[in-house]
Amino acid sequence: MAVDKQESVKSLFTAQSAKVDTNRGDAYYEKLYAQCRARLDELKELAPLNNRMDFKESIEDEGLDRRDFLKWASATTAMLMLPASFTPLVADAAVMMNRVPVVWIELSDCAGNTEALIRSDGPKIDEIILDIISLEFNETLLAASGHQAEKQLEDAIEHFKGKYLLFVEGAVPMGMDGQYGTIGASGETFHDHLQRIAKDAAAIVAVGSCATFGGIPAAAPNPTDAKGVMDVVKGKPIINIPACPANPSNMVGVILHYVLTGSIPELDSLLRPKFAFGYRIHDNCERRAHFDAGEYVEEWGDEGAKNNFCLYKVGCKGPMTFNNCSIIRYNEGVNWPVGVGRGCIGCSEPDFWDKYAYERPMANANIKAPTGGVEKTVDEFGLGLLTAAGVGIAIHAAASAVAGKKESEKEA
């Protein structure tokens, strides 16, 4: 893919790393509030799609009361970085999630993101909301198969042309004309499948690290030439929700934001919503005090591990990883990787499998990666360069000592 030179220079100097503006002033929020109110009133007029479940009933069926729901609504408002006054709007929007059609397709992946959203110890509000969204098509959950399934997909595309949110899970294999991955009775390649469905989508949400950056299928040596959705689909708004798997709370956050405002949330340079990926997990980690104290787990199961010491020396990549899992955790706050005693593997960052996930102290990462092993190669290269310089100097010094002519000798 040739990138225009001028464009790439421009993008280089306008690149933004995470820079989160958490307070935009009263005027901004008042305007946004009015806009959201109008949007919700408009949605209220529409009938729920396809007789989807009613949210209030679903909540009662699961044995949760309204108080739980309101607690969830205020937590979600905070997660979306909106002022507390937006809580009633978020609650309203949640009820109207069944008015937004969603098509969910799966490409090169392990279905982990689908698993993340359908499995938990007991359905919590995030999962219930993902139950009631108007999921028009999802290969994993579909009862139909073959031509029947394709018919259903075509109906959904036709019926909700330009209105549906397309969720993509999994990378797009581009090698061998895309023949590494085909789907359906017609043997359509993943690439063509994605392009066909993306064409009529309102926006695309890439969930999980495979769909966003290629993830594990794209890890070195990337035999199928797997790519993320944003490298393949052009001219559509794309939101990336990386992580392995993506956190259902962040999926809900994005859909909710869409329902609430009719637009996509503010994104960083990797197209990740800033409300979720604006901070390093390191800065909100419960083990951070041990990092500062220099108290590290030296090996698995040692005294430090028993005392919940910092996992930096066993390969935790928290200091480099942008995600909100240290704040909201997984499965509605039950736990998260660092919480269970495993270091972060940077699963929400590009090339995470090669650059982050070696689960070893950074200096000992002897895994084959695009650069030959990241820090390990850096140190080896550096030491090699230093040795080469030392050898050069030694040769020059020895030659000087043997054959050099000092000024005083010249005169003599």
Partner 1 sequence: MKEGYKKVERMTPAMRIIHWVNVLSMIVAIATGLYIAAPYYQTFIADSAVDKYVMAWNRWGHFMVAIIFDVTSIIVAYLYFFSCFEKPWKKVIPTPTNIKEFFAVLINLITLNRSKNFDSSHSDSFNTIYFAIFHLLLAWMLLTGLQLYVHALASGESSIGAWWPWMLHAMTDWTIPASGWINGAASGMSSLMDVRITHHYTMWFIVVWVVFHIYYQVWRTIFWQEGDIAIAFGGEKFVKDKEA
- Restricted to residues 333-362, the positions that interact with partner 1 (CB under 8 A) are 346, 349-351, 355-356, 361-362
Looking up tokens 């002897």, which residue turns up? Answer: 366
Looking up tokens 């499995």, which residue turns up? Answer: 119
Site membership for partner 1, residue 215 (CB under 8 A)? no
With CB under 8 A as the contact rule, the residue among 304, 318, 337, 343 that binds partner 1 is: 304
**Cβ 355 to partner 1 shortest distance, Å:** 5
Supply the DSSP string of 351-393, one letter for each residue. THHHHTTT-S-GGG--S--TTSSTHHHHHHHHHHHHHHHHHHH
φ and ψ of 316, to 5 deg: -65, 130
Site membership for partner 1, residue 13 (CB under 8 A)? yes
With CB under 8 A as the contact rule, the residue among 25, 45, 65, 408 that binds partner 1 is: 408
Q: Which of 325, 165, 123 is nearest to 243 (CA)?
A: 325
Q: Specify the stretch interacting with partner 1 by CB under 8 A; choose among 6-14, 34-42, 51-59, 186-194.
A: 6-14
Q: Specify the stretch interacting with partner 1 by CB under 8 A; choose among 71-79, 121-129, 178-186, 290-298.
A: 290-298
Site membership for partner 1, residue 391 (CB under 8 A)? no
Q: Which of 279, 354, 350 is nearest to 318 (CA)?
A: 279
Site membership for partner 1, residue 370 (CB under 8 A)? yes
Q: Which of residues 307-336 bind partner 1 (CB under 8 A)?
A: 307, 312-313, 317, 320, 322
Specify the residue, 38 or 397, whose C-beta has the smaller distance to partner 1.
Answer: 397
Specify the residue, 72 or 296, whose C-beta has the smaller distance to partner 1.
Answer: 296
Site membership for partner 1, residue 5 (CB under 8 A)? no
Residue 77 has which token pair? 């408002």
Site membership for partner 1, residue 18 (CB under 8 A)? yes
Specify the residue, 312 or 336, whose C-beta has the smaller distance to partner 1.
Answer: 312
Q: Which of 78, 129, 31, 86 is nearest to 260 (CA)?
A: 86
Which runs of consecutive H residues, i.e. helices, occur in 48-118?
A: 55-61, 66-79, 87-95, 112-118
Site membership for partner 1, residue 279 (CB under 8 A)? yes
Positive or negative torsion for Cα 28, 74, 125, 38: negative
Site membership for partner 1, residue 405 (CB under 8 A)? yes
CA 39, CA 163: separation in Å to the nearest integer? 15
**Are 320 and 280 within 8 A, CB to CB?**
yes
**Cβ 357 to partner 1 shortest distance, Å:** 11
Residue 75 has which token pair? 């937590």
φ and ψ of 262, to 5 deg: 75, 5
With CB under 8 A as the contact rule, the residue among 22, 67, 84, 158 that binds partner 1 is: 22
Site membership for partner 1, residue 397 (CB under 8 A)? yes
Site membership for partner 1, residue 6 (CB under 8 A)? no
With CB under 8 A as the contact rule, the residue among 141, 269, 333, 368 that binds partner 1 is: 269
**Are 342 and 285 within 8 A, CB to CB?**
no
Identity at 381, one-letter amino acid code: F
243: left (phi over 0), alpha (psi -120 to 50) or beta: left
**Are 138 and 207 within 8 A, CB to CB?**
no
With CB under 8 A as the contact rule, the residue among 38, 141, 176, 289 that binds partner 1 is: 289
Q: Specify the stretch interacting with partner 1 by CB under 8 A; choose among 63-71, 152-160, 330-338, 371-379.
A: 371-379
Site membership for partner 1, residue 412 (CB under 8 A)? no
Cis ω before 221 (30° cut-off from 0): yes
With CB under 8 A as the contact rule, the residue among 230, 259, 264, 344 that binds partner 1 is: 230
**Are 132 and 52 within 8 A, CB to CB?**
yes
Site membership for partner 1, residue 363 (CB under 8 A)? yes
Binding residues with partner 1: total (CB under 8 A)? 75
Site membership for partner 1, residue 225 (CB under 8 A)? no
**Cβ 174 to partner 1 shortest distance, Å:** 12
With CB under 8 A as the contact rule, the residue among 34, 144, 176, 383 that binds partner 1 is: 383
User: Dmax over Cα atoms in the chain, in whole Å?
Assistant: 106
Which residues, in sequence order, are bridge partners of residue 168?
105, 206
Specify the residue, 88 or 319, whose C-beta has the smaller distance to partner 1.
Answer: 319
Specify the residue, 16 or 51, whose C-beta has the smaller distance to partner 1.
Answer: 16
Q: Which of 12, 1, 20, 40 is nearest to 283 (CA)?
A: 20
Q: Specify the stretch interacting with partner 1 by CB under 8 A; choose among 114-122, 163-171, 245-253, 298-306.
A: 298-306
Which residues, in sequence order, are bridge partners of residue 206?
168, 240
With CB under 8 A as the contact rule, the residue among 19, 27, 158, 162 that binds partner 1 is: 19
